[in-house]
Amino acid sequence: MTSDNRWQTSRRVEFGDTDMAGIVHFSRFFLWMEAAETDYLRSRGLAVHWHEAGVTQGFPRVSVSCDYKAAAHFEDILDIAITLERIGTKSITWEFVFTHGGTPIAVGKMTSVYCYNRGGKMESAEIPPELRAKLGAAGA
Amino acid sequence: MTSDNRWQTSRRVEFGDTDMAGIVHFSRFFLWMEAAETDYLRSRGLAVHWHEAGVTQGFPRVSVSCDYKAAAHFEDILDIAITLERIGTKSITWEFVFTHGGTPIAVGKMTSVYCYNRGGKMESAEIPPELRAKLGAAGA
Amino acid sequence: MTSDNRWQTSRRVEFGDTDMAGIVHFSRFFLWMEAAETDYLRSRGLAVHWHEAGVTQGFPRVSVSCDYKAAAHFEDILDIAITLERIGTKSITWEFVFTHGGTPIAVGKMTSVYCYNRGGKMESAEIPPELRAKLGAAGA
Amino acid sequence: MTSDNRWQTSRRVEFGDTDMAGIVHFSRFFLWMEAAETDYLRSRGLAVHWHEAGVTQGFPRVSVSCDYKAAAHFEDILDIAITLERIGTKSITWEFVFTHGGTPIAVGKMTSVYCYNRGGKMESAEIPPELRAKLGAAGA
């Protein structure tokens, strides 16, 4: 489901996501943020990394963070609310709110920079207007 | 090697740490931060999670972040400088500076809260004086 | 959907599942086998690891394998057909067939041993009749 | 240290390698096999994936397995003895023996196929004589 610059998805905690403290390992939330970002981008016909007419384009991350509110456990279904908070000239910033049955579990942030590549290195660039239009709602 | 509240370690980038963009996946830096934290704690006779006299103690994370400066690649040896920036009443804050041959790759932060458990849930608590003394240098 | 000792599930390949060869890293199939096993067990009201009346029970793995037929790529939806091939006295053996749009991708096997624990170490044991009945079809 | 077709390395179990059963997650052994393979190949001036004169070459896996003998725990140092068991026409087979303080932990196998690529798909090929010579001892 979507509305403008938001999307909602969910993921189940797998056994391999837990650690010996009996809870989800803190690093896993970043994999779920990425999966949620992919869900959002797919919903707009986009991807986090793609090839088109010989050019590789993508959104490598420049900054990520996560604040943990409560532990998540094996077989919990985590709801993930993703918001495209900001579309800058070259970068975009996401917020991810993880809840379990309404209880806050974690809040993540991720800033990615638009980059493209014609055979050499990935270089940052201004987000083209057509990509900008697809990414977010009007006026975003 | 150590000096007061610092430690230096290194990790090699393995093939499984890379992604289809040909660089280290951003999430891996959190695993290396944890490994570096373990190295530091071991150097003081401590661990990130332990059992002692029937009590489980540990430092679950409450907040983590990473800023990426440059990509890291397969077989790079990453140097990791870890600093125990702050020892608060209940929490500690780490900084991790990743470099490769002197080039800045990433800077991570991690705040963990001291918790213990006598059979039920992990609960936060004041860091006991003897643990505080082991963690950092005098005056830290 | 289910029939006797079979179950069918699917997983999408996430960006973090790929490696610098541009395909899914071979180790990820084991995480999907485990997730598929969890799906199967859930469909029978079971889990791969659980606590009940002060006893920890589970199915740690004793042997796993995977044969790779073709590469899987970012955003592919992998169909996973899971079969509980054998219920022995103490162990169970799973087969997992991964396909993508009908194309064979990989075939995995996993043998797990029933273990339980009353406060000390996990020890293998005969699978109790009620667990055996839940696990598979009549006569399995 | 090396002798003909053998190599010895080690890895420490990190906190993030454990699961809620309190032991190393079974999937991690495959990452350590890969790291050990990289160690071996490096010792011969080789890699598991490389670019040379516009050609990508590598050893994607076609079959892997692991038998688990005993659990490994957080902070254990695992010794890994790697043997290049067989160099076939197109494929190579590795054996990995994991021990902890002399106690057998796991035995892994991995068969990889030599592939190369001139801009399209990776295709299997006969292992060139100079690569064969570097891989193993005479007569291997």
Phi/psi at C56 (nearest 5 deg)? -90, 130
Least confident of A30-39, B17-26, C13-22, D46-55: D46-55
In the predicted structure, residue C1 carries a pLDDT above the cut 60: no
Q: Mean pLDDT over residues B108-133, rounded?
A: 89
Least confident of C15-19, C28-32, D45-49: D45-49
Which of C127, C92, C95, C97 has its CA nearest to residue C111?
A: C92
D34 vs B contacts (CB less than 8 Å): 14-16
Least confident of A45-59, A104-118, C99-113: A45-59
- Of A85 and D4, which is predicted with more confidence? A85
A27 vs B contacts (CB less than 8 Å): 27, 30-31, 34
Two tokens at C130? 């009620």
Q: What confidence category does residue A41 fall into, taking pLDDT thresholds of 50, 70 and 90?
A: very high
Tell me what the pLDDT averaged over chain D comes to.
90
In the predicted structure, residue C86 carries a pLDDT above the cut 50: yes
**pLDDT for the residue D49:** 81
Q: Which residues of C touch D (CB under 8 A)?
A: 20-21, 23, 26-27, 30-31, 34, 49, 58, 60-68, 71, 122
Query: Which of C17, C20, C29, C51 to probe by mutation at the B interface, max B CB count within 10 Å?
Result: C20
Burial of D6 (0-12, 13-18, 19+ CB in 10 A): middle
**pLDDT for the residue B3:** 56
CA dist., res. A54 & res. A67, Å (int): 39
Touching D (3+ Cβ pairs <8 A), the chains are A, B, C
CA dist., res. A76 & res. A99, Å (int): 10
Q: pTM of the predicted model, to two decimals?
A: 0.93
Closest-CA residue of D relative to A26 is D16
CA dist., res. A133 & res. A123, Å (int): 21
In the predicted structure, residue D2 carries a pLDDT above the cut 60: no
pLDDT in tens, A21-34: 999 999 999 999 99
Q: Which residues of C touch A (CB under 8 A)?
A: 12, 14-16, 31, 34-35, 38, 42, 47-49, 74-75
Helix (H) or strand (E) segment spanning residue A35: helix A28-43
Two tokens at B60? 């679950």
pLDDT in tens, C54-78: 788 889 999 999 999 999 999 999 9
In the predicted structure, residue A137 carries a pLDDT above the cut 70: no
Q: B49 and A21: CB-CB below 8 Å?
A: yes
The domains located in chain B, with CATH, are 2-135 (3.10.129.10)
Q: What confidence category does residue A3 fall into, taking pLDDT thresholds of 50, 70 and 90?
A: low
Write the Ramachandran bin of D17: left for phi over 0, alpha for psi from -120 to 50, otherwise beta.
alpha
Closest partner residue to D18 (CB to CB) among A20, A27, A74 is A20
Give the Å distances, CA to CA, from A3 to A32, B30, D15: 20, 32, 39
Spatial strand order in the sheet of D55-58? D49-52, D55-58, D115-117, D123-124
What number of C-beta contacts closer than 8 Å exist between A and C? 34
**pLDDT for the residue B137:** 52
**pLDDT for the residue A51:** 80
Closest partner residue to A35 (CB to CB) among C14, C34, C48 is C14
